[in-house]
Amino acid sequence: MTLVLIDLQERLVPAMLDGDQMVEAARKLMAGSDLLGRPVLATEQSPNKLGGTVAPLPLPSPAIAKMDFDASTLILDRAAPDDTLVVAGCETHICVLQTVAGLLRAGRKVVVAADAVSSRKALDRDTALTGMRSMGAEISTAEAILFGWIGGADHPQFREVSRLIK
């Protein structure tokens, strides 16, 4: 699985509903990805205007700058061909929705971390999550995704993943 962080940027995050909670859920996913050796891709929408990725999310490699709302082509160019893509970011009803739609059209399996996405308004976020589910994306949470990655309490990284959740 590859973690995809969409536009979690300095000037966007403060405007998001429950932005701190969204970033914290994304941080847990990132820490779990690092712990388990899973790749992380990040995008930044117009970074010269909206700033870089927020400080609590130190990226392992530079973010992919973009102008289009749909980043699916940029992600597909970099992700392993059969990898499931775990998506977090903002805004749920714009860049996240358009990117997930593009990934699904390309035949990819997509899991959206509902607690790691947001919009300015709950209606926009909730409507987009419903739409992505109807398109075929799995809607989950950061905690469920992390425990899904390890599969059971006998996994060698179980304690470390458990600590991430608390």
Domain segments of the chain as ranges: 2-165
Q: How far is CA 14 from CA 24, 28, 48, 78, in A?
A: 13, 19, 17, 29
* Tokens matching residue 103: 């990934």
CA dist 54 and 12 (Å) reads: 9
What is the domain class of 2-165 according to CATH? Answer: alpha beta
* Tokens matching residue 105: 């059209």
The predicted model scores a pTM of 0.95
* Tokens matching residue 115: 């607690």
CA dist 146 and 27 (Å) reads: 12
CB 41 within 8 A of CB 75: yes
Instruction: Give me the tens of pLDDT residue by residue for the chain, a chain 166 residues long.
Output: 999 999 999 999 999 999 999 999 999 999 999 999 999 999 999 999 999 999 999 988 899 999 999 999 999 999 999 899 999 999 999 999 999 999 999 999 999 999 999 999 999 999 999 999 999 999 999 999 999 999 999 999 999 999 988 8
The residue assigned the tokens 């608390």 is 166
The pLDDT value given to residue 166? 80
* Tokens matching residue 30: 């990132």
